Chain A
Amino acid sequence: MHSATVKPSPAAKILWVAIAIVGAWCLGVVALRRGESINAIWLVAASLCVFLIGYRFYAKFIEHSVLRLDPTRAPPSVLRNDGLDYVPTDKWVVFGHHFAAIAGAGPLVGPVLAAQMGYLPGTMWILFGVVFAGAVQDFMILGLSLRRDGRSLGHMLREELGPLPGIVAMVGVLVLMMIVLAVLALVVVKALTHSPWGTFTVAATIPIALLMGGYLRWLRPGRILEVSIIGLALLLLSIWAGRFVAESATLAPVFDLDAKALAWWLIGYGFCASVLPVWLLLAPRDYLSTFLKIGTIALLALAIFLAAPMLQMPAVTKFIDGTGPVFQGNLFPFLFITIACGAVSGWHSIIASGTTPKLLANEGQARLVGYGGMLCEAFVAIMALVAAVSLHPGVYFAMNAPGALIGTTAEHAAQVISQWGFVVTPDALVQTAKDVGEQSILSRAGGAPTLAVGMAQLLHNILPGEGMMAFWYHYAILFEALFILTTVDAGTRVGRFMIQEIAGLIHKPLQESESWSGNLLATAICVGLWGYFLYQGAVDPLGGINTLWPLFGIANQMLAAIALMLATVVVVKLKRERYVWVPGVPAIWLITCTLAAGYEKLVGPISFTAAADKYAAALAQGQMLAPAKTAAAMQQIITNNRVDMAMTAIFMALVVVMTLFCLRALLQAWHTNHPTAHEEPYVALTGASLAAHH
């Protein structure tokens, strides 16, 4: 903490110069080598150097000049210590907790989708996005919350900008959450469609979780690690058993479901899971998925280092022109909304103003947790990208392009993809499917299956064995499905509380979280909201992810823009105008990206409007466009696209309104000649531990 006041030793200087040179060299190899494939290690090494330099220099600059964090100042954990929510905690424990809370499926999905443009655009955006925007957002929001008794983002927005902007932002958060839940559930649907093995193992997590719940409740209360080890053993057993289910003539059809059926199952599951007591299903699954997530990320890192795969995807593909099959749209702005988590994720601003600021024992540790935690998530994103681009590009496109483009047979898919310039044989596609124990790998967009094949190949390289690839593939699918479903449960519950609060304003009894009818009604509304978008994705002609992921990206970046604007306003309110660019420039960048992407999704060739009009015109002439076979299905697609138009318009309106609110606050603060931010008064750390008693 005090290292800034200590002059760096000559050895330290040499070390940092060396890191800078190595980083620049690796980045040069990644960026400039063309026509020959490079090893993933170059990319990993370049990323590590960039992260180290960003952490040591830029984050330190933010800490000392912009936030002016003060190790002598008592943080909320000391001032309000209650032994439960506010507890001064070891910095590495807080780091672990914070990382586990921010790392989810997001950084694994976005980079895989963005790999269609080659590895270079995605890598560059993750590296520079995280250093100058994502980690800055997490760190600054954490810093602001630390100075405000650990208050939430919504509370800080109300305080610094006024009550109305606070409400506007919270509506945005609710809508964002519904889209997040829908798109994540859709990732699971895409991964499990016609996959009896995968569906069986994911379904098996329900009885396993119930068993764990009972064990934790009655047999050995509170023994989380112990029960998680038992759960993990059962999970691995279910993956092993899945093969026999898939090969069985009687059981396989039971677990062989199409996208629509899976969507309905998930909707029903989401409803049941979120009205059951938490200890029964949600909590045990949460523990299992948390540990599995950390373990798998470590495993992926190990596999990449040991296998050191060659990157088979070109650095830049022709799809930067906006004609890509995985998602439509040009590099600008669509790359920057496709990779949200990993580069910059608005959702983190909620976490960074949640539990974490209440646990930090010292302001000087905020850089490690806030900035450092986000760098780790960016590293996860880089690894996901490596896993995707080390696949054969033909296999990558077969897995991620929608059926409307590549058809449903390996022959047709291979022919189309070869025409795009990524020569692949039908045999290669069939063999890959066979290797991972699936009937087909075509059109499994959504990141999870692609990452699973990539991971399976990496792990198979270091641990070869008959049938091991299929095991690893289903392990990776299970791991993603597990924590996505946990997010769906927990998110539905949070959504339910939000809806009950809003409903309580109209009719007081609905607010009672003990009332069963109120609970059921609010849960039904919440599940209905995300379920609508999930079902829409499942019947979407372009495969759903294609439609919903941009919507999710726009919403997530909208929240990030709001968080960074809040930070900008506070910097000016503190009269530190000369540093306004630190949060201000990334805020402007995100506003530009969300508005540009929103505009293209509203007007023009790749917009929801164009899609709705195309289907409406065909319907008017009595024609049916695939995949719709009836007039009702056509009408459904038209309505879905119109709803997506409305959503896009809402997000854009939210961005514009919030920008105007922030500009007003900014101008006011600029013209005031004294600090006006709502910081809590300074209390010295030593005296505070004594005064903390309340």
Chain B
Amino acid sequence: MNLQARLQSVRKWAVQTARLCCGIPDYDAYVRHLREHHPERRVPSYAEFFRERQEARYKGGGGRCC
């Protein structure tokens, strides 16, 4: 792997981790999942996906620690 590719993968990792820490899962993985398993469903835009997940995060469940 050259340096640029490596930097890119580190960046992707950091963004994915940061988003997951805020309750936003990987959008690309979701799109891939939809295409693969539910081709009949509409693929939401990132903005729509983000809003839906933002609402879902605070709908009960354990939440965070003290």
Do A103 and B22 touch (CB < 8 A)? Answer: no
Do A282 and B58 touch (CB < 8 A)? Answer: yes
Chain B, residues 49-66, CB within 8 Å of chain A (1/0): the string is 111011111111111111
Do B66 and A96 touch (CB < 8 A)? Answer: no
Do A224 and B62 touch (CB < 8 A)? Answer: no
- Complex contacts, B51 vs chain A, CB 8 Å: 221, 279
Q: How far does the alpha carbon of A694 sit from the alpha carbon of B13 in the complex, in Å?
A: 28
Do B33 and A81 touch (CB < 8 A)? Answer: yes
- Complex contacts, A347 vs chain B, CB 8 Å: 65-66
Answer whether residue A351 sits at the interface, using C-beta atoms and an 8 A cutoff: yes
Answer whether residue B20 sits at the interface, using C-beta atoms and an 8 A cutoff: yes
Nearest CB of chain B from residue A297's CB, rounded to whole Å = 13
Q: How far does the alpha carbon of A89 sit from the alpha carbon of B25 in the complex, in Å?
A: 9
Range, interface on chain A: 35 or more
- The residue on A at minimum CB distance from B49 is A222
Pick from A100, A279, A552: contact of B54, CB below 8 A: A279
Chain B, residues 28-66, CB within 8 Å of chain A (1/0): the string is 011011100100000000110111011111111111111
Known: A83-B34, A97-B17, A222-B47. Contact between A490 and B65, CB under 8 A?
no
Pick from B24, B63, B65: contact of A341, CB below 8 A: B65
Do B58 and A490 touch (CB < 8 A)? Answer: yes
Do A351 and B13 touch (CB < 8 A)? Answer: no
Do A224 and B24 touch (CB < 8 A)? Answer: yes
Q: How far does the alpha carbon of A354 sit from the alpha carbon of B62 in the complex, in Å?
A: 7
Known: A83-B30, A278-B54, A497-B60. Contact between A222 and B65, CB under 8 A?
no
Nearest CB of chain A from residue B45's CB, rounded to whole Å = 8
- Complex contacts, B16 vs chain A, CB 8 Å: 89-90, 93
- Complex contacts, B65 vs chain A, CB 8 Å: 101-104, 106, 341, 345, 347-348, 351
Do B46 and A89 touch (CB < 8 A)? Answer: no
Do A286 and B61 touch (CB < 8 A)? Answer: no
Q: How far does the alpha carbon of A347 sit from the alpha carbon of B63 in the complex, in Å?
A: 10
Do B64 and A351 touch (CB < 8 A)? Answer: yes
Answer whether residue A123 sits at the interface, using C-beta atoms and an 8 A cutoff: no
Do B20 and A93 touch (CB < 8 A)? Answer: yes
Pick from B29, B54, B58: contact of A87, CB below 8 A: B29
Answer whether residue B7 sits at the interface, using C-beta atoms and an 8 A cutoff: no
Answer whether residue A556 sits at the interface, using C-beta atoms and an 8 A cutoff: yes
Answer whether residue A31 sits at the interface, using C-beta atoms and an 8 A cutoff: no
Q: Which of A467-508 contact B (CB under 8 A)?
A: 486-487, 490-491, 493-494, 497-498
Answer whether residue B21 sits at the interface, using C-beta atoms and an 8 A cutoff: yes
Do B20 and A96 touch (CB < 8 A)? Answer: yes
Pick from B17, B22, B34, B66: contact of A105, CB below 8 A: B66
Answer whether residue A290 sits at the interface, using C-beta atoms and an 8 A cutoff: yes
Pick from B25, B47, B59, B66: contact of A84, CB below 8 A: B25
- Complex contacts, B58 vs chain A, CB 8 Å: 278, 282-283, 490, 493-494
Nearest CB of chain B from residue A79's CB, rounded to whole Å = 13
Range, interface on chain B: 35 or more
Pick from B25, B32, B62: contact of A351, CB below 8 A: B62
- The residue on B at minimum CB distance from A97 is B20
- Complex contacts, A184 vs chain B, CB 8 Å: 66
Known: A84-B30, A221-B47, A341-B65. Contact between A290 and B21, CB under 8 A?
yes
Q: How far does the alpha carbon of A99 sit from the alpha carbon of B37 in the complex, in Å?
A: 31
Q: Which of A518-567 contact B (CB under 8 A)?
A: 552, 556
Nearest CB of chain B from residue A128's CB, rounded to whole Å = 21
Q: How far does the alpha carbon of A354 sit from the alpha carbon of B23 in the complex, in Å?
A: 12
- The residue on B at minimum CB distance from A105 is B66
Answer whether residue A58 sits at the interface, using C-beta atoms and an 8 A cutoff: no
Nearest CB of chain B from residue A223's CB, rounded to whole Å = 9
- Complex contacts, B19 vs chain A, CB 8 Å: 224
- Complex contacts, B17 vs chain A, CB 8 Å: 92-93, 96-97
- Complex contacts, A152 vs chain B, CB 8 Å: 61-62
Known: A93-B13, A93-B20, A221-B51. Contact between A494 and B61, CB under 8 A?
yes
Pick from B21, B25, B32, B57: contact of A283, CB below 8 A: B57
Answer whether residue A82 sits at the interface, using C-beta atoms and an 8 A cutoff: yes
Answer whether residue A287 sits at the interface, using C-beta atoms and an 8 A cutoff: yes
Q: How far does the alpha carbon of A83 sit from the alpha carbon of B28 in the complex, in Å?
A: 9
Nearest CB of chain B from residue A91's CB, rounded to whole Å = 11
Q: How far does the alpha carbon of A87 sit from the alpha carbon of B62 in the complex, in Å?
A: 19
- Complex contacts, A490 vs chain B, CB 8 Å: 58, 63-64
Do B54 and A283 touch (CB < 8 A)? Answer: yes
Nearest CB of chain B from residue A337's CB, rounded to whole Å = 13
- The residue on B at minimum CB distance from A490 is B63
Answer whether residue A350 sits at the interface, using C-beta atoms and an 8 A cutoff: yes
Do B61 and A82 touch (CB < 8 A)? Answer: no
- The residue on B at minimum CB distance from A82 is B33
Q: How far does the alpha carbon of A282 sit from the alpha carbon of B13 in the complex, in Å?
A: 25
Nearest CB of chain B from residue A533's CB, rounded to whole Å = 14
Do A222 and B50 touch (CB < 8 A)? Answer: yes
Q: How far does the alpha carbon of A494 sit from the alpha carbon of B32 in the complex, in Å?
A: 32
Chain A, residues 84-122, CB within 8 Å of chain B (1/0): the string is 110101101110110011111110000000000000000
Do B29 and A83 touch (CB < 8 A)? Answer: yes
Q: How far does the alpha carbon of A100 sit from the alpha carbon of B16 in the complex, in Å?
A: 13
Q: How far does the alpha carbon of A103 sit from the alpha carbon of B64 in the complex, in Å?
A: 8
Pick from B26, B50, B59: contact of A221, CB below 8 A: B50
Nearest CB of chain A from residue B15's CB, rounded to whole Å = 7
Q: How far does the alpha carbon of A193 sit from the alpha carbon of B57 in the complex, in Å?
A: 33
- Complex contacts, A221 vs chain B, CB 8 Å: 46-47, 50-51
Answer whether residue A658 sits at the interface, using C-beta atoms and an 8 A cutoff: no
Q: How far does the alpha carbon of A359 sit from the alpha carbon of B16 in the complex, in Å?
A: 13
- Complex contacts, A291 vs chain B, CB 8 Å: 18, 21
Nearest CB of chain B from residue A599's CB, rounded to whole Å = 24
Known: A83-B30, A222-B50, A279-B51. Contact between A487 and B21, CB under 8 A?
no
Q: How far does the alpha carbon of A180 sit from the alpha carbon of B65 in the complex, in Å?
A: 9
Nearest CB of chain B from residue A81's CB, rounded to whole Å = 7
Q: Beyond the given A83-B33, A104-B64, A286-B22, could you list 6 further A-B residue pairs with CB under 8 A, ordered by the A residue number?
A: A82-B33, A84-B53, A97-B20, A103-B65, A222-B46, A279-B55
Can you list 5 contacts pairing A with B, beta carbon distance less than 8 Å? A89-B25, A152-B62, A221-B51, A283-B54, A494-B63
Closest 4 CB pairs of A and B: A83-B33, A222-B50, A221-B47, A350-B62
